[in-house]
Structure 1
Amino acid sequence: MSSIFNLDNPFFSGLNKIVDAFFLSIIFLITCIPIITIGPALTALYYATAKSLRRDRGYISKEYFKAFKLNFLQGLVSGLILIAASSILAIDWRYAKNLHNTTGVILFSIFTALFIVLFFITIYIFPVLSRFKTKTLHLFKTAFFMSMRHLPSTILMAIIVIFFGLLVYLFRIPIVFAPALCTLLVSFLMERIFKKYMPEKSEEEESNGVDEWYME
């Protein structure tokens, strides 16, 4: 009987994860209300999800705002670049769609392909920013390289993101938990990819007591 009310049993652990996902999603939604801050917000969402929600390291709010502040400027710039690129592509895509000739079909196909590539880059860029220190141009190159090199995982992550996007679009209410839950599912694939790019630890690093939670 006592095991039923044990806070470490699967039921209470799962319930706790749901509450944490709700809390993390609300923080994310609040911090990306200005829209232009969506870059640092997505970076912090991935970091807090991978570290706290998935691996129970640290407090969710503390880890979220730590990553938000640390990556604010680069996340802001990266987010604005993606928003601008998406807006330009959307205009070109609509223009090509309205051209009822061979040129229109060719341009429509090109812009659609570019949209897909940009979407793939967007999936990777903020998780990469949350984990690796690099310049903005190299950040975009890395996101593109990883998305193409691990294309099957990229497609699966894209399906996950689209599913939750449609869920929120159709029913609205899931927005209070969808950001964290979607990121959590993506992290299982993303972390497996990231491990391939992690440098091996030296003896000195192994003895310094640093919590390398991302290697688990």
Structure 2
Amino acid sequence: MRKDVHVGRDRMNRLTRPFEAILAIGVAGLLWALACIPIITIVPATTAMYAVMTSWTLDGPPPVWSTFWGAFKKHFWQALGIGVILEVVAVILAVDVTFGFRAENAPLRTVVLVVAVVLTIGLAGMMVFLFPVMTTYPSPWRRTLRNSALFAAGYVGTTLLGLGVFALAVVAIYFAPASLPVTAGLAAYVITILTKRAFAKYAARQEAAEPATA
């Protein structure tokens, strides 16, 4: 009888886990949307949402409310500073791209345009890893940005897949704006899965390299 009870509970857990996951993703996305309302809190809110996703285990999602707001407070100032840096860089790149397209007779126009486009792609790729790195490997902001860029360059396949997820999310939100919270949460969930695989490969390489250097 006890075995039957345990088997029944396991089956019930397997049936309810997908619904639990969907609910957690939706709630995390909703909290993210609410926390983004002041605008300047977009990066801290995104960091908190990714903290929920990176805290996910095989047993299921973490307590969404406490995990989200705990990470929001913990990473607030660092995330806010990184957000300012990214905003400044994005504005500079936007100006350079605009200059490259419109200044037809300007010297070095092509060079400026090519460099700006390459840096924009690099920045977008870094964004795939930025929030998972911030929540998985907490460190000072310079190291966080550097590690995000290194992971993006070292795991190009993951970076491209992450950019594809971003693109699909943008398209979904464009055609269905009301889906913003769920779409944002789902995108963060998928990207977290992708980056966790990259982190696992990195950890395996580090472990394999340790005996050789010992």
TM-score (norm 2): 0.82
Larger CA Rg, structure 1 vs 2: 2
Whether 2:80 is the aligned partner of 1:76: answer: yes
* Length, aligned pairs only: 195
Whether 2:22 is the aligned partner of 1:18: answer: yes
Pair 1:49–1:57, CA change in 2 (3 A): same
Aligned equivalents of 1:29 and 1:183: distance in 2? Answer: 13
Aligned equivalents of 1:53 and 1:15: distance in 2? Answer: 15
Pair 1:55–1:89, CA change in 2 (3 A): farther
1:1-216 to structure 2, matched below 5 A, reads 7-10=12-15, 12-52=16-56, 55-101=59-105, 103-198=108-203
Gaps of 5+ in 2: 1-7, 208-214
Corresponding residue SS for 1:134: coil
1:33-74 alpha-carbon deviations (Å, 9 max, x no partner): 222212221111111023248752531111111111111111
Question: Contact 1:99/1:105 (CA < 8 Å) preserved in 2?
Answer: no
TM-score (norm 1): 0.82
Q: Give the match for residue 211 of structure 1.
A: none
Pair 1:54–1:176, CA change in 2 (3 A): farther
Corresponding residue SS for 1:8: helix
Question: Contact 1:25/1:177 (CA < 8 Å) preserved in 2?
Answer: yes
Question: Contact 1:147/1:154 (CA < 8 Å) preserved in 2?
Answer: yes
Pair 1:22–1:57, CA change in 2 (3 A): closer
Percent identity of equivalent pairs:
22
| Shift, 1:197, TM fit | 4.5
Question: Contact 1:54/1:184 (CA < 8 Å) preserved in 2?
Answer: no
Aligned equivalents of 1:189 and 1:115: distance in 2? Answer: 22
Alpha-carbon RMSD across the aligned residues, in angstroms, is: 2.1
Q: Give the counterpart letter for 2:125 in structure 1.
A: F
Gaps of 5+ in 1: 201-216
